[in-house]
């Protein structure tokens, strides 16, 4: 049966990078189990248990599973209904000298939980540099467009001007918080280590004839072999599922950020102010050949929604664990943990592709400003008239009447905003007729947006990206589709 005959998650088959898809493959998972059994045997041997050099040598020689290994394990699991014991059996077949000591003193969660912690660590190591690179590229975009005035929007209605670069800083700041959250989650990860069936280490205490020091040293050695700085001092049969919730919540928050950025780009594409990259031969619509649909941003919103909602699964799984453990966490974690990492990886690839080729249309942005700026500029006119001795109330009333007249022309007749022409013809404003054009310069309406952008990138972004300097590049992520 080929891959075309059975369902495959599009996260792996269509979107995700090869490195992330491989991380959550069966080969990687079961190789990690074998590696954990090697570490356990080596630590137990070092502490005096009777384990031969040949046993360890055979185990180390067969860390990578063959197709035959998978077949043996599948047949054994069908018989035993237990995946860990099936793989203990399969490993013993190729490492017969170790068959009697594989998994000595351990419970299934020694393999499954410690492997998952390895995957959490490696998965975060994959996504964190990619996120840093996206922030780096978007920061360059922000600096490039720091001075370009654009309509701000509040309530999705035209508001005081900002700049294209300053708006990008809103996205960057949220991404920096995602980088912080994921980095902290990575730094907080510990190892389950060797804790036994209910976390009391009773089986290992029995193996070492009541020697508590050796049990503690066994835990320390295996943790060290795995490359973790520490093991959780307290566990049940499993490590607390709050760890999963912590990591997935950070990724879910990133998913929400992607929805926010994707939504902004989609709205700006609708007004033709900005677009995501559109390839030469790309087809926007099967029916409407002229269309340039923001399909990357739409996909980003779609997958961001999926990722944002995974934290609920993780929190529910944590809260439904009873006492020392229940097995209702197993099946859902096999889905949620890979999905969280695969989706995060996919979103980073899309986001990298989009921010690497954002297209800005200054002429359209300028036209949009011209349509709305007359209303926004009226406060400048009022203040200037007052400075020349006019009554603020009188100036306000004249502006109010003229504004309503101009608004009616726009809304009821579909014509251009002619407020400025009306003001230039109204005798009341004759003292400032010569200044009106200069009072209408869009750059005078953006406040400190350019300065804020530069300071933010120099003071906040560069500092946050210092640990990731080696991962930053200008290369654009290629997408499968």
* pLDDT for residue 481: 40
Q: Number of folded domains in the chain?
A: 3
Distances (CA, A) of 307 to 332, 341, 344, 471: 15, 9, 7, 24
Q: Quick one: 298 and 159 in the same domain?
A: yes
Decide which of 74, 98, 122 is a domain's last residue.
Answer: 98
Q: Quick one: 197 and 257 in the same domain?
A: yes
Three-class secondary structure of residue 217 per DSSP: helix
pLDDT digits (tens, 9 = 90+) for 22-43: 999 999 999 999 999 999 999 9
C-alpha 244/C-alpha 141 separation (Å) is 35
**30-54 in b/e burial notation, b at 16+ Cβ within 10 A?**
bbbbbbbbbbbbbbbbebebebeee
Distance of CA 98 to the CA centre of its chain: 42
Domain of 82, CATH number, reads: 1.10.275.10
Mean pLDDT of 122-144: 97
Assess whether 286 carries a catalytic annotation. Answer: no
Confidence of residue 289 (pLDDT cuts 50, 70, 90): very low
450 assigned to some structural domain: no
The residue written with tokens 């999963």 in the block is 244
* pLDDT for residue 407: 87
Contact 159, 152 (CB under 8 A): yes
Checking if the pLDDT of 66 tops 90, the result is yes
Two tokens, residue 104:
């000595």
Count of other CB atoms within 10 angstroms of residue 280: 4
- When mean pLDDT is compared across 58-62, 239-243, 270-274, 433-437, the lowest value belongs to 433-437
Q: Quick one: 206 and 335 in the same domain?
A: yes
Identified catalytic residue from 2, 50, 155, 286: 155
Mean pLDDT of 78-101: 95
Checking if the pLDDT of 283 tops 50, the result is no
Q: Beta partners for 122?
A: none
Distances (CA, A) of 143 to 138, 146, 169, 466: 9, 5, 9, 18
Domain of 403, CATH number, reads: 1.10.40.30
pLDDT digits (tens, 9 = 90+) for 454-470: 999 999 999 999 999 88
439 assigned to some structural domain: no
477 assigned to some structural domain: no
453 assigned to some structural domain: no
pTM: 0.91
Q: Quick one: 214 and 346 in the same domain?
A: yes
Decide which of 360, 393, 422 is a domain's last residue.
Answer: 360
* pLDDT for residue 438: 87
Q: Quick one: 116 and 200 in the same domain?
A: yes
Assess whether 155 carries a catalytic annotation. Answer: yes
Q: Quick one: 260 and 374 in the same domain?
A: no
Mean pLDDT of all residues belonging to the chain: 93
* pLDDT for residue 193: 97
pLDDT digits (tens, 9 = 90+) for 360-386: 999 999 999 988 888 888 888 898 899
* pLDDT for residue 52: 97
274's enclosing H/E stretch is strand 274-275
Q: Quick one: 203 and 300 in the same domain?
A: yes
Q: Quick one: 424 and 313 in the same domain?
A: no
Confidence of residue 231 (pLDDT cuts 50, 70, 90): very high
* pLDDT for residue 448: 96
- When mean pLDDT is compared across 78-92, 133-147, 357-371, 430-444, the lowest value belongs to 430-444
* pLDDT for residue 73: 96
Confidence of residue 480 (pLDDT cuts 50, 70, 90): very low
Identified catalytic residue from 13, 25, 52, 285: 285
215 assigned to some structural domain: yes
* pLDDT for residue 15: 86
Residue 420 structural domain: 364-433
C-alpha 142/C-alpha 169 separation (Å) is 6
Report the percent of the chain where pLDDT is more than 70: 95
Contact 91, 64 (CB under 8 A): no
Q: Quick one: 165 and 229 in the same domain?
A: yes
Q: Quick one: 244 and 388 in the same domain?
A: no
Q: What is the DSSP letter of 430?
A: G
Q: Quick one: 194 and 260 in the same domain?
A: yes
Checking if the pLDDT of 250 tops 70, the result is yes
pLDDT digits (tens, 9 = 90+) for 407-431: 898 889 988 888 889 999 999 999 9
444 assigned to some structural domain: no
Domain of 329, CATH number, reads: 1.20.200.10
* pLDDT for residue 30: 97
Q: Beta partners for 159?
A: 152
Q: Quick one: 41 and 93 in the same domain?
A: yes
Checking if the pLDDT of 108 tops 90, the result is yes
C-alpha 193/C-alpha 219 separation (Å) is 5
Mean pLDDT of 130-137: 97
pLDDT digits (tens, 9 = 90+) for 196-228: 999 999 999 999 999 999 999 999 999 999 999
């Amino acid at each position: 049966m080929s891959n075309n005959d059975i369902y495959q998650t599009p996260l792996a088959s269509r979107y995700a990078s090869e490195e992330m898809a491989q991380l959550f493959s069966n080969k990687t998972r079961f190789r990690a189990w074998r590696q954990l059994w090697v570490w356990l045997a080596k630590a137990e041997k070092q502490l005096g248990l009777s384990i031969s050099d040949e046993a360890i040598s055979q185990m180390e020689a067969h860390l990578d599973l063959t197709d035959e290994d998978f077949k043996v394990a599948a047949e054994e699991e069908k018989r035993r209904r237990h995946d860990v014991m099936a793989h203990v059996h399969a490993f013993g077949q190729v490492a017969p000298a170790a068959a009697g000591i594989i998994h000595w003193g351990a419970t299934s969660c020694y393999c499954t939980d410690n492997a998952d912690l390895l995957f959490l660590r490696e998965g975060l190591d994959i996504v964190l540099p990619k996120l840093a690179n996206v922030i780096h590229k978007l920061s360059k975009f922000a600096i490039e467009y720091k001075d370009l005035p654009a309509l701000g929007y509040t309530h999705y209605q035209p508001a005081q001007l900002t700049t294209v670069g300053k708006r990008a800083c809103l996205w960057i700041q949220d991404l920096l918080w995602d980088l912080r959250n994921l980095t902290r989650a990575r730094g907080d990860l510990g190892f389950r280590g060797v804790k036994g069936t209910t976390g009391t280490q009773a089986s290992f205490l029995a193996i070492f004839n009541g020697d508590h020091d050796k049990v503690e040293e066994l835990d320390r050695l295996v943790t060290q072999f795995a490359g973790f700085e520490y093991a959780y001092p307290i566990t049940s049969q499993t490590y607390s599922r709050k760890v999963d919730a912590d990591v997935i919540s950070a990724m879910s928050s990133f998913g929400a950020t992607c929805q926010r950025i994707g939504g902004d780009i989609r709205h700006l594409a609708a007004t033709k102010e900005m677009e995501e990259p559109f390839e030469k031969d790309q087809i926007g619509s099967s029916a409407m050949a002229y269309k340039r649909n923001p399909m990357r941003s739409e996909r980003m919103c779609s997958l961001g929604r999926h990722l944002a909602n995974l934290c609920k699964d993780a929190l529910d799984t944590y809260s439904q664990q009873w006492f020392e453990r229940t097995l209702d966490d197993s099946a859902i974690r096999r889905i949620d943990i890979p999905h969280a990492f695969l989706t995060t990886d996919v979103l980073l690839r899309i986001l990298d592709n989009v921010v690497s080729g954002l297209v800005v249309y200054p002429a359209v942005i300028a036209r949009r400003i011209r349509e709305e700026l007359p209303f926004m500029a009226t406060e400048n006119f009022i203040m200037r008239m007052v400075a020349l001795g006019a009554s603020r109330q009188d100036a306000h009333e004249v502006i109010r009447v003229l504004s309503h007249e101009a608004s009616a022309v726009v809304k009821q007749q579909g014509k251009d905003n002619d407020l400025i022409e009306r003001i230039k013809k109204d005798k009341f404003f004759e003292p400032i007729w010569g200044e009106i054009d200069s009072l209408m310069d869009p750059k005078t309406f953006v406040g400190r947006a350019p300065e804020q952008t530069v300071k933010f990138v120099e003071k906040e972004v560069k500092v946050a990206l210092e640990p990731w300097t080696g991962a930053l590049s200008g290369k654009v992520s290629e997408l499968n589709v």
